[in-house]
């Protein structure tokens, strides 16, 4: 590693003003600062970080400097934080509350009508953290609480609607009774 370190430092230009160590060597398509040493493509940010903090990064960890210098060519270990890949992805994602609210149009009845993909029965569909959800069910969980009963019913009878105030939990029987009361037994009930 000592031999590598010399090769590495030769390709660093230290910026006295902001403390960044700018990498002058190769930067690959994913923005990784690379150096080929004895046939191995070293990842310089990781090499220097591990050396500085005397630690070993695992496959599920990554380094980020967005909250510090945010300089894509910087390799100064003091400008990096370590986090798990999962946590990092979640910190970058648009909050689910916003995704739900941004993709509806509110109609005269106060329904939040889902504007993205609809599935069978006219229910809104959304992909969230790798899973497919019905938008109204996710809305109920996000704005109210975890679903404990089999069916989420619409008081407005509008399958596109994800307004949590128009949603309530029920059993299959309650849903059928609700449907009968509203005269939509011929249509498939909400779920």
Rounded CA separation 4/114 (Å): 56
Q: Which is nearer to Zn ion, 52 or 129 (CB)?
A: 52
In 3D space, the residue among 15, 64, 16, 67 whose CA is nearest the CA of residue 24 turns out to be: 15
CB of 39 to Zn ion, least distance (A): 29
CB of 129 to Zn ion, least distance (A): 25
Q: Which is nearer to Zn ion, 133 or 154 (CB)?
A: 154
23 three-class SS: strand
Rounded CA separation 65/73 (Å): 10
Residue of the chain from 134, 136, 137, 166 that contacts Zn ion (CB under 5 A):
166
Helix (H), strand (E) counts: the chain: 6, 13
Q: Which is nearer to Zn ion, 60 or 70 (CB)?
A: 70
In 3D space, the residue among 128, 126, 181, 186 whose CA is nearest the CA of residue 154 turns out to be: 181
Q: Which is nearer to Zn ion, 35 or 74 (CB)?
A: 74
φ and ψ of 76, to 5 deg: -70, 115
Q: Which is nearer to Zn ion, 129 or 182 (CB)?
A: 182
Rounded CA separation 34/8 (Å): 10
CB of 41 to Zn ion, least distance (A): 22
Question: Is position 74 an interface residue for Zn ion (rule: CB under 5 A)?
Answer: yes
Q: What mask of x and - would describe binding to Zn ion in positions 99 to 128, judged by CB under 5 A?
A: ------------x-----------------
Question: Is position 8 an interface residue for Zn ion (rule: CB under 5 A)?
Answer: no
Helix (H) or strand (E) holding 153: strand 151-154
89's CB contacts (< 8 A; 6+ apart) are none
Question: Is position 142 an interface residue for Zn ion (rule: CB under 5 A)?
Answer: no
Question: Is position 161 an interface residue for Zn ion (rule: CB under 5 A)?
Answer: yes
Q: Yes or no: say if 79 and 19 are a contact pair by the CB < 8 Å rule.
A: yes
Q: Which stretch binds Zn ion (CB under 5 A): 45-53, 120-128, 130-138, 154-162?
A: 154-162
Residue of the chain from 43, 139, 158, 189 that contacts Zn ion (CB under 5 A):
158
Residues 39-68 contacting Zn ion, CB under 5 A: none
Residues that bind Zn ion (CB under 5 A): 20, 69, 71, 74, 76, 79, 111, 156, 158, 161, 163, 166
């Amino acid at each position: 590693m000592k031999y590598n370190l010399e090769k590495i430092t030769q390709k660093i230009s230290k910026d006295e003003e902001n403390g960044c160590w700018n990498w002058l060597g190769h930067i690959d398509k994913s923005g990784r600062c690379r150096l080929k040493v004895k046939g191995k493509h070293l990842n310089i940010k990781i090499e220097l970080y591990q050396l500085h903090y005397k630690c070993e990064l695992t496959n599920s960890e990554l380094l980020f400097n967005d909250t510090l210098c945010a300089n894509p060519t910087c390799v100064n270990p003091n400008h990096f934080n370590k986090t798990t890949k999962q946590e990092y992805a979640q910190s970058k994602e648009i909050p689910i509350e916003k995704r739900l609210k941004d993709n509806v149009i509110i109609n005269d009845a106060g329904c939040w009508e889902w504007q993205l993909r609809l599935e069978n029965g006219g229910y809104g569909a959304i992909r969230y953290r790798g899973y497919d959800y019905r938008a109204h069910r996710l809305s109920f969980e996000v704005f109210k609480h975890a679903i404990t009963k089999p069916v989420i019913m619409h008081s407005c009878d509008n399958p596109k609607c994800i307004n949590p105030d128009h949603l309530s939990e029920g059993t299959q029987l309650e849903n059928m009774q609700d449907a009968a009361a509203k005269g939509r037994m011929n249509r498939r009930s909400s779920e």
